[in-house]
Amino acid sequence: MIRILVADDEMDVLYSLKAFFEAKGYKVFIAPRGMDALNYLKTEKPDIMILDLKMRDMNGMDVLRQAKTILPSVKTIVATGSDDEDLKDEAMKLGAVDYITKPIRLADLEKRIAELKV
């Protein structure tokens, strides 16, 4: 079973992604804070992380940096409200495999996840 970690400080995003992907047969963990996400990376070892860049407690780029140290195999999809080429470039350099903008289109995200080799 593919394990997905969703890290976002917007509760509606967390719960909608959790419900959607659990209905598709994935195991889903939700993290409303960056530190929660880092802890899940250590304890649950998800295959995929869907990461918002702007969270209240921690910058998503910092989470991405630390994620690659904690669990280098995690495939990270950045999902953010900012369609900024510089942010996209930085995220990709830090190891993100994809960068999408909000609002998240669930069918598109599901397709992108299905294309990942996990």
pLDDT, one tens digit per residue, over 3-50 is: 999 999 999 999 999 999 999 999 999 999 999 999 999 999 999 999
Residue 34 burial class via C-beta count within 10 angstroms: exposed 0-12, middle 13-18, buried 19 and up: buried
Determine the Cα–Cα distance for residues 93 and 115; give it in Å rounded to an integer: 20
Domains (range + CATH), the chain: 3-115 (3.40.50.2300)
CA distances from 69 to 41, 62, 87, 95 (A): 10, 11, 20, 11
Both structure tokens of 6: 């969703």
pLDDT, one tens digit per residue, over 54-99 is: 888 899 999 999 999 999 999 999 999 888 899 999 999 999 999 9
